[in-house]
């Protein structure tokens, strides 16, 4: 697939790369997510992990649901992000079937009564992304929730979930960006090679 011309304008780049993500056919999205759940079992540290954070995907994001279910079936505690007032991101306990509340950007989150854990208590964090590269650079939606949470403390492993078509070599990188350790695409488990 031809890459869009290099740009330092993150907003323009996000639009271009979100368009790629939106072109993934609906009937393939679930198949890819199921394959990714199997790939997760190959992730180093998976067996001993006890706390796994994921997210509930918006319509265009990579579906994390099968991966969360795989973690729950393996006896792991799962957590979802909670956009606290302001720009703080917390992670609250979540199990399939728990009550959820609709929050900012139409994202469903655990109830505020669900137990919260610090980011450093998470063994694996699964992150949505707009684009990624083999060096672990992740381009998100631009609100900075994950960046702010990760600049203070880091989980055991950071794993981006993205389609193959979201790979883009020339992603801009800021000094505060925390690189991914792995990317799961449904066809590959990519170990990120940091510069």
Structure-block tokens of residue 44: 């180093």
The response to whether 146 counts as a known ligand-binding position is yes
The response to whether 191 counts as a known ligand-binding position is no
Alpha-carbon distance 144 to 167, whole Å? 20
The response to whether 12 counts as a known ligand-binding position is yes
The response to whether 143 counts as a known ligand-binding position is yes
The response to whether 140 counts as a known ligand-binding position is yes
The response to whether 14 counts as a known ligand-binding position is yes
> Residues of 62-85 as b/e, b for ≥16 C-beta within 10 angstroms?
bbbbbbbbbbeeeebbbbbbbbee
Alpha-carbon distance 145 to 153, whole Å? 13
The response to whether 168 counts as a known ligand-binding position is no
Question: Rounded to whole angstroms, what are the CA distances from 94 to 3, 145, 166, 181, 194?
Answer: 38, 19, 28, 24, 32
The response to whether 139 counts as a known ligand-binding position is yes
Alpha-carbon distance 7 to 5, whole Å? 6
Contact 177, 30 (CB under 8 A): no
The response to whether 26 counts as a known ligand-binding position is no
Where is the binding site for ATP, in residues?
A: 10-14, 138-146
Where is the binding site for substrate, in residues?
A: 56, 61
Where is the binding site, in residues?
A: 10-14, 56, 61, 138-146
């Amino acid at each position: 697939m031809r890459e869009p011309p290099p740009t330092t304008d993150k907003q323009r780049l996000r639009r271009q790369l979100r368009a790629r993500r939106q072109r993934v056919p609906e009937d393939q999205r679930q198949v890819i997510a199921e394959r990714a759940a199997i790939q997760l079992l190959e992730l180093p540290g998976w067996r001993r992990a006890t706390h796994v954070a994921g997210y509930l995907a918006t319509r265009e994001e990579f579906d994390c649901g099968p991966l969360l279910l795989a973690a729950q079936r393996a006896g792991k505690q799962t957590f979802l992000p909670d956009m606290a007032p302001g720009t703080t991101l917390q992670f609250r306990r979540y199990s399939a079937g728990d009550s959820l509340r609709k929050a900012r950007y139409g994202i469903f989150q655990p109830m505020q009564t669900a137990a919260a854990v610090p980011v450093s208590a998470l063994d694996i964090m699964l992150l949505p992304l707009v684009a990624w590269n083999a060096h672990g650079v992740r381009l998100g939606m631009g609100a900075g929730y994950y960046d702010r949470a990760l600049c203070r403390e880091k989980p055991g492993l950071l794993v981006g979930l993205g389609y193959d078509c979201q790979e883009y070599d020339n992603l801009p990188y800021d000094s505060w960006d925390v690189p991914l350790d792995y990317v799961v695409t449904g066809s590959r488990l990519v170990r990120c090679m940091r510069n």
